Amino acid sequence: MRIRGFKLPKNQQFNYKPRFWDPKEEERQERLARAQQLSEGGVEAMKTRISATFNRNSGGSGGPDRYTYRNRQVAKSNFVLVAIIAALLLLCYIGMTVYLPELEKMLS
């Protein structure tokens, strides 16, 4: 038998329990809570109606077919990018049709 003068520490064990988060379920619960507040009436119902109107008009949680601000900006940026590429291709085509015959004459 060995006698040790010090105690070795044991490995630390973690009890990790992953949590599942469903954004659709959370949104559904928020809608149910809003509907419950609206049915009860009163000042809180009025606040809920006003905030829902702001969310709908600003592209908040208005449904899948509503564009958010970021989606509109991305679409606008993509359109500008495609327009620039088309303009550059057109300039290259015009440059090749106008200046390529002159370059061939100079090189030969």
Does the reported pTM lie above 0.85? no
Asked if the model's pLDDT at residue 83 lies above 80, the reply is yes
> What is the per-residue pLDDT for 64?
53
> What residue segments make up the domains of the chain, in order of their start?
22-66, 67-108
User: Residues 91-97: what's their mean pLDDT?
Assistant: 95
Taking the CA atoms of residue 16, residue 17, residue 18 and residue 24 in that order, the dihedral angle to the nearest 10 degrees is: -150
> What is the per-residue pLDDT for 71?
87
Asked if the model's pLDDT at residue 1 lies above 60, the reply is no
Asked if the model's pLDDT at residue 23 lies above 90, the reply is no
| More confident site: 14 or 43 | 14
